[in-house]
């Protein structure tokens, strides 16, 4: 069989050959004399000496805490560039080069309300070729449950995104109703602009947070106290401390006593988005698959089809619909076209012997009614927070 080569690989190979030929021709035309080489070496030596001197001055002027080590600085740079903190056990010998990530930019119309119709359904189309190698192999492509991208499991391994048990998890969940989020959608930090990322990094540095390190409950509460004091110049109230403790428990579903760095980073990213951007701007971040999932949730809760649901039903969706299933609840026989998990109040849950009337907290006449646009605004942050594959709940709903 012949070797399939993508357009990207072909272009890269041609560019490498062209660069090599150009460098060879330039070397033949311009062979520097011994004196010129000596002068260049002297200039290079002076430059290196200046860099060393500048590095020593920065080391003397900067803080001497362990988090300012070279490894920590490299971690901050990866975080700034949207690459996260890469595990040290990655085997880089046979890995593809990760694609360059460009952080999003705010547009002038972002704050305007988007037109998301309840009646008009959206057609969900996945890409036909793998996002990494740009080769089509239908039987082995894994679709992302958030965006339109599809991947080969082999390409994900060579990129370093499938490690140990994660490969099995992708295989088991990618074609179920729960689905699998690709490495773009799994990282909520990639939703931040450069300015927002700089703001978050400054906050983490000021609070002595080391990237890549797990946080205990004491660490998490201490961080929350520092952030609150810096922002409001007063001590955090006890009620907010209790809420922070509940959020820690939500980020630690396995009760390990600590939260992983990636879960903490995703939580802080969605918190920052809530504080900085208006709800209309957050609504523009939703993908067609997420909007379809929201439509299905609203229509399932709107039992009488009048276009309104109760406030309690909206909270119910916040708690049950937009959070991930446990592994024992997965069903491999569900089509990937299903747009969302089954909530306790949806019609599909009646097959388990539960009637929607017994689960709904109150009738719509007894509480405030919410229409479709209001439902989206109330739940958009929780929809975004449900993107990561982690079992952690990155945004704990208020009681």
Parse the chain into domains and list their residue ranges.
Answer: 124-186, 189-289+376-395
For the chain, first and last CA: distance in Å?
Answer: 60
For residues 44 and 163, what is the distance between their CA atoms, to the nearest angstrom?
42
* Residue 78: per-residue pLDDT: 67
127 phi/psi in degrees, rounded to 5: -60, 155
User: How open is the CA angle 9-14-18, to the nearest 5 degrees?
Assistant: 150
Cα→Cα distances 268→5, 163, 357, Å: 40, 25, 37
Name the least confident of 178-182, 279-283, 291-295. 178-182
For residues 191 and 285, what is the distance between their CA atoms, to the nearest angstrom?
8
Cα dihedral sign for 167, 172, 175, 178?
A: negative
Burial class from Cβ neighbours inside 10 Å (0-12, 13-18, 19+) for residue 206 reads exposed
186 in Cβ contact with 169 (< 8 Å): no
62 phi/psi in degrees, rounded to 5: -80, 170
* Residue 164: per-residue pLDDT: 64
Q: What is the pLDDT of residues 218-234, one digit of tens each?
A: 999 999 999 999 988 89
For residues 388 and 116, what is the distance between their CA atoms, to the nearest angstrom?
24
Q: What is the DSSP letter of 352?
A: G
Cα Rg of the chain (Å, integer): 26
274 in Cβ contact with 324 (< 8 Å): no
Candidates 3.10.50.40, 3.40.630.30, 3.40.1280.10, 3.30.40.10; CATH matching 124-186: 3.30.40.10
Q: What is the DSSP letter of 236?
A: P
Name the least confident of 125-129, 273-277, 356-360. 356-360
Burial class from Cβ neighbours inside 10 Å (0-12, 13-18, 19+) for residue 299 reads middle
Contacts of 110-117 with C-beta under 8 Å, sequence gap 24+, read 110/277, 110/280, 110/281, 110/284, 111/278, 111/280, 111/281, 112/280, 113/280, 113/283, 113/373, 114/280, 114/283, 114/284, 116/283, 116/286, 116/291, 116/373, 116/376
Task: For the beta carbon of residue 118, count every other beta carbon within 10 angstroms.
Answer: 17
- Looking up tokens 């900067």, which residue turns up? 62
- Looking up tokens 């959206």, which residue turns up? 122
Q: What is the pLDDT of residues 197-226, one digit of tens each?
A: 999 999 999 999 988 899 999 999 999 999
| Ramachandran assignment for 84, one of left (phi > 0), alpha (psi -120 to 50 degrees), beta (any other) | left
pLDDT band for position 288 (50/70/90)? very high
pTM for the full model?
A: 0.70
221 in Cβ contact with 133 (< 8 Å): no
Q: Which residues of 17-46 are buried (b: 16+ CB within 10 A; e: fewer)?
A: eeeeeeeeeeeeeeeeeeeeeeeeeeeeee
Q: What is the pLDDT of residues 60-74, one digit of tens each?
A: 444 444 445 677 777
Question: Fold for domain 189-289+376-395?
Answer: Recoverin; domain 1 (1.10.238)
- Looking up tokens 């698959």, which residue turns up? 289
Cα dihedral sign for 376, 382, 384, 386?
A: negative
For residues 89 and 344, what is the distance between their CA atoms, to the nearest angstrom?
41
Q: What is the pLDDT of residues 321-372, one digit of tens each?
A: 665 544 433 333 333 333 343 333 333 333 333 333 333 444 444 568 899 9
For residues 374 and 205, what is the distance between their CA atoms, to the nearest angstrom?
37
pLDDT averaged over every residue in the chain:
74
What are 106's two structure tokens? 């705010």
Cα→Cα distances 63→197, 223, 227, 257, Å: 22, 20, 21, 30
- Find the mean pLDDT for residues 126-138: 85
């Amino acid at each position: 069989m012949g070797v399939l080569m993508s357009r990207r690989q072909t272009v890269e190979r041609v560019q490498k050959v062209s660069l090599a030929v150009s460098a060879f021709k330039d070397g033949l035309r311009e062979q520097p004399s011994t004196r010129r080489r000596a002068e260049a070496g002297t200039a290079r030596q002076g430059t290196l000496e200046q860099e060393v001197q500048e590095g020593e001055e920065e080391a003397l002027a900067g803080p001497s805490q362990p988090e300012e080590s070279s490894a920590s600085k490299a971690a901050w740079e990866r975080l700034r560039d949207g690459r996260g903190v890469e595990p040290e056990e990655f085997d880089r010998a046979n890995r593809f080069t990760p694609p360059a990530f460009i952080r999003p930019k705010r547009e002038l119309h972002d704050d305007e309300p988007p037109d998301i119709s309840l009646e008009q359904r959206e057609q969900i189309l996945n890409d036909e070729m793998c996002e990494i190698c740009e080769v089509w192999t239908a039987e082995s492509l894994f679709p992302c449950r958030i965006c339109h991208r599809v991947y080969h499991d082999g390409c994900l391994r060579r990129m370093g995104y499938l490690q140990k048990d994660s490969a099995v998890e992708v295989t088991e969940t990618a074609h179920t109703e729960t689905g699998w989020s690709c490495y773009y959608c799994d990282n909520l930090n990639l939703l931040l602009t450069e300015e927002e990322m700089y703001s978050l990094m400054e906050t983490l540095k000021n609070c002595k947070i080391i990237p890549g390190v797990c946080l205990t409950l004491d660490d998490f509460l201490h961080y929350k106290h520092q952030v609150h004091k810096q922002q409001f110049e007063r001590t955090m109230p006890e009620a907010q401390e209790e809420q922070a403790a509940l959020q820690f428990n939500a980020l630690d579903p396995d009760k390990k006593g600590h939260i992983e760095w990636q879960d903490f980073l995703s939580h802080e990213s969605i918190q920052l988005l809530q504080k900085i951007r208006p709800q209309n701007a957050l609504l523009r971040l939703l993908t067609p698959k997420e909007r379809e999932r929201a439509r299905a949730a609203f229509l399932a809760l709107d039992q009488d089809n009048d276009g309104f649901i109760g406030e309690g039903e909206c909270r119910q969706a916040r708690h049950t619909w937009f959070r991930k299933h446990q592994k024992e609840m997965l069903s491999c026989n569900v089509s990937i076209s299903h747009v969302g998990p089954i909530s306790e109040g949806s019609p599909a849950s009646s097959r388990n012997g539960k009637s929607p009337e017994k689960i709904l907290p109150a009738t719509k006449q007894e509480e405030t009614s919410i229409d479709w646009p209001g439902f989206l605004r109330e739940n958009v942050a929780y929809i975004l927070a449900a993107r990561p594959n982690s079992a952690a709940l990155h945004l704990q709903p208020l009681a």
